[in-house]
Structure formats: structure tokens, C-alpha cells
Amino acid sequence: MTVSPLLIVVLAAGKGVRMRSALPKVLHPIGGRSMLAHVLATAGSLGPQTIAVVVRPGMEAVRAEAANAAPNIELFEQTEQLGTAHAVLAARAAIEHHAGTVLVVFADTPLIEGATLRRMIDVLDGGAHIAVLGFEPEDPTGYGRLIVDAQGRVQAIREERDALEAERRLRLCNAGAMAFRVPKLADLIARIGNANAKGEYYLTDAPAIAAAGGLMAVPIACSADEAIGVDSRVKLAAAEAVFQARARARAMDGGATLLAPETVWLSYDTTLGRDVVIEPNVFFGPGVTVEDGAHILANCHIVGTRIRSGARVGPFARLRPGADIGAEAHIGNFVEVKNARIEAGAKANHLAYIGDGRVGEGANIGAGTIFCNYDGFDKNFTDVGRGAFVGSNSSLVAPVKIGDGAYIGSGSVITSDVAPDALALERSAQDLRPGWAARFRRLKQNRKKGP
Ligand code: UD1
């Protein structure tokens, strides 16, 4: 079987009015990355020769996201939004330059799996000219219906507004993705008219035109979950739910225990090692790696962080970008860590802010410790040496360095460096008055008895 070169056309020019958002629809995130980036990642996994993305004029943020997600894409502008066939023709130059398979996908349908698209391409290798992705939704309202003949060929796709009553009762709907291996494809699509209820140029008219010309269009089925097209916030939430269910299953298959999987939120790139245990209500933003055997206790928010093997985090910890939690280290309740390396075996068990710093191996950060990293202009670094002990309620005013094995007395405000193995204490001497309390009580009680 010869491998046909692949061009993927991603349609991203729609207005997305039902999202009621200042953000272009395809930039809304699912699992921590935009729908467009999801679609481009799946497209890239098929090894295409070219990916063409069709955008609306002025969508600078969409252009930037596309370029960022897949550096070698080609961008095309659809100046007016006159329908999906019109949108495909915006990439006419790419289509005409290409000899091989053309796959059209929508940027607002982010959950179609690479293996599904591969099945569409494979059926073309087997001799079909067009593959149409179909699915059976619980509620088919709004979708185009596939009209399939007795030989299993797609004769036409009828958009709901243009469908007859009997056609509306058909269960198999158009998911949107279509693959073509047709000579002069651009000419075929250019023959599509706009004599329909919406007055749009529908790509879904392609199979009927192809069938009339003796070409063969076939349906390929996928699950309703994969086919979710996002055109509202409700559909966005539905797509997120499907994404999360898949990600949780993957994490558990990989050897992580999720005590209450439905309460753990994962990102597209969350990496969980073997024997990681995640308690309920944990949110992972992008960029988190949790190594083997680490334990995340309940109610943590973690973004851009590496948690090394055997570490224990939470409950109620907040780990922000650049946090690196060493092997067997402990980060306890109400501790926030940002851009800081906590080395192996170090502990910050309660109520602390550790920002822009290092906590050396085996060091202890007492309850209430604050790394004062910001002076209103710059962020400064705090370096706590290996085995150091920072007493509770201390403020370490950066830039400052605490030497290996040094002690900081509780309640100190440390503004200058502390030598290794020294004690630094910054507080007024304790005023001790023996018997004062008893005298005070007597005085008060005598007054109460009074005349
Ligand atoms: C489309 C299909 C319908 C299918 C449904 C699945 C057509 C005519 N209809 O309907 O059969 O059941 O998807 O979700 O294709 N777009 C552009 N430029 C345009 C118009 C659309 O780029 O001028 C893009 C949109 O950004 C979107 C996609 O094409 O990603 C689908 O367009 P939309 O008009 O929303 O089609 P549906 O009504 O969902």
C-alpha cells in the first residue's frame, strides 16, 4: 500500500457567537490548552505534509496560538464567513498544490482521536474517494444527517434546516471531519452552491456531488464523546468532562491511584508516575510532573511544578510555576511555593510562603515563615542552606542567605546573611516579671469586691 501525502485543513474562522466571549472560540481551553492546540496536536500526530489553518481576518491571537502549537503550519484567511465549503476554499492554494489525501477538521471539535482520523485515511487507501465521520448522538438536533444507501455509501448529507421529516429521524449524524482523495478537489468544492436554508456554502454537499460523478463516499463511525463540537459554554463543559474522564483513566492505567477520580482535575500534559496517590479535590494546571511514589493529599492546587519521588504534598498546598519539590520532601497544609527548589528531605509542614528561593536538603521551615521576595519592584532570592532550621514565624527578607546548619530563632526578621551553623535571633529581650500575674489578679478581684 502506497502512503498518500496528507494535507490537513483546519477550519477555525467561525464566529462562535454563542460562546458570548471576548476570547475567540477556538482559544477556549480544555484540559489546560486551547481547542485549536488540541486539534493541531492530533493533526500533527498523523504525520501530514502540510497543515493549513483557516482563520478570520484580525484573529491575531488565533494566528499566534496556531504558530505556537505547530510551527510549520500555513495560515489562510477567510474574509467572510460564508460556510464550511467556502472556508475550505480559502485554503485553495494549498489544496491545488497538493497531490494526495486532504483531511478537513474543525478547530472547535477537539476530542476526535488520531486513531479515528487514521481510519478515515485508511478507507481511502482501500479505494473510497471520500470518508465522512459519523456518530449517533443522544440528541441529533442541529447536526447534519448522513443519508447512506443500501451499499453503505453516503449519498448525501442533509443539514437539519434543509431536511425532510423522514431525514430528520435518521440517527447517524455528521461529526464534521471529512477526508478526500479526489483529483481536482478544489474544483469539486467550488461547484457547491448556497441554495439552502442558511444561504451558506456547505462542505456537506460534497458527497452528493461526488456520488453524482460516480465517486464513492463512505461513513466512518466514532463515539458521540469524540464528536462533541463546542459552540456554547455548556458544550465546552461537556467536552472538558470527556477530556477529564480520558485523562483520569490514562493516569490510573499508568499506575497512579486516584481515590476519587471524578474530583481530580488534570491538564493535557500532567505526568503521574507509578504508585502516586492522589487524594480528593486536587487540581493540576499545565506543566506538572509527579514522580513515582509521591503522595498528594486532599485539596491542592498545583501548576508548573515538579514533585519528585516519595514527596508528600498537602493537604491544602498551593504549588505555583517553578516549584520543584525534592524526593521525600514534605510540603504541608497552607504552604505556598513558587519558583523555588525544595531539596530532598526538606520540610515546610505548615503555613508558609516560599517564593524565589532554595531550601537545602533536610532543612526545616517552621510554621508561619515568609520568604519576603518582593520589594515592590524586584523579585529577590532567598537561599536556605542544607540542614538549616528556620524557627516559626520568621521573615526572611530577600536577598538573603542562611548558611548550612544555621538556626533562626522564632519570630525573627532576617535582613542580612547568616553564617553556617550560627544562630540568628532578631527580637527584643524577653521581659520577665515573677509574680506579676498573681498580683494583677488580686488587684482586680479586690476592686470588684470594693465599697
Ligand atoms: C457542521 C456541519 C454539520 C455537522 C456539524 C458537526 C456543515 C455545513 N455542517 O455544522 O453537518 O453535523 O458541523 O458539528 O458543514 N467555519 C469556518 N468558516 C465558515 C463557517 C464555519 O471556518 O464560514 C468553521 C467553524 O469555525 C467551525 C466549523 O467550520 O469550526 C463548523 O461550522 P459551523 O457553521 O458551526 O457548522 P455547524 O452548524 O456546526
Atom of ligand 1 nearest to the CA of 16: 26
Which among 79, 106, 162, 204 is the best mutation to test ligand 1's pocket, defined by most ligand atoms within 8 Å of the CB? 106
To the query of whether residue 350 is one of the catalytic residues in this protein, the response is: yes
Cβ 34 under 6 angstroms from ligand 1: no
Beta strand residue intervals within 226-368, DSSP E: 257-258, 264-265, 271-272, 277-278, 282-284, 289-290, 295-296, 300-302, 305-307, 312-313, 318-319, 323-325, 330-342, 347-359, 364-365
Type of residue numbered 381: F
DSSP string, 255-290: T-EESSGGGEE--TT-EE-TT-EE-SSEEE-SS-EE
For the chain, the first-to-last Cα distance in angstroms comes to: 112
Helix, strand and coil percent figures for the chain, each rounded to 5 = 25, 30, 45
DSSP-derived letter for residue 433 is: -
pLDDT tens-digit profile, the chain (451 residues): 457 999 999 999 988 889 999 999 999 999 999 999 999 999 999 999 999 999 999 999 999 999 998 878 999 999 999 999 999 999 999 999 999 999 999 999 999 999 999 999 999 999 999 999 999 999 999 999 999 999 999 999 999 999 999 999 999 999 999 999 999 999 999 999 999 999 999 999 999 999 999 999 999 999 999 999 999 999 999 999 999 999 999 999 999 999 999 999 999 999 999 999 999 999 999 999 999 999 999 999 999 999 999 999 999 999 999 999 999 999 999 999 999 999 999 999 999 999 999 999 999 999 999 999 999 999 999 999 999 999 999 999 999 999 999 999 999 999 999 999 999 999 999 999 999 999 999 999 999 876 6
Q: How far apart are CA 229 and CA 121, in angstroms?
A: 21
CB 201, CB 192: distance < 8 Å: yes
Question: Is residue 310 a contact partner of residue 329, using CB atoms and an 8 Å limit?
Answer: no
Asked if residue 3 lies in contact with residue 124, where contact means CB atoms within 8 angstroms, the answer is no
pTM value is 0.94
* Eight-state DSSP code of residue 10: E
Neighbours of 170 (CB within 10 A): 17
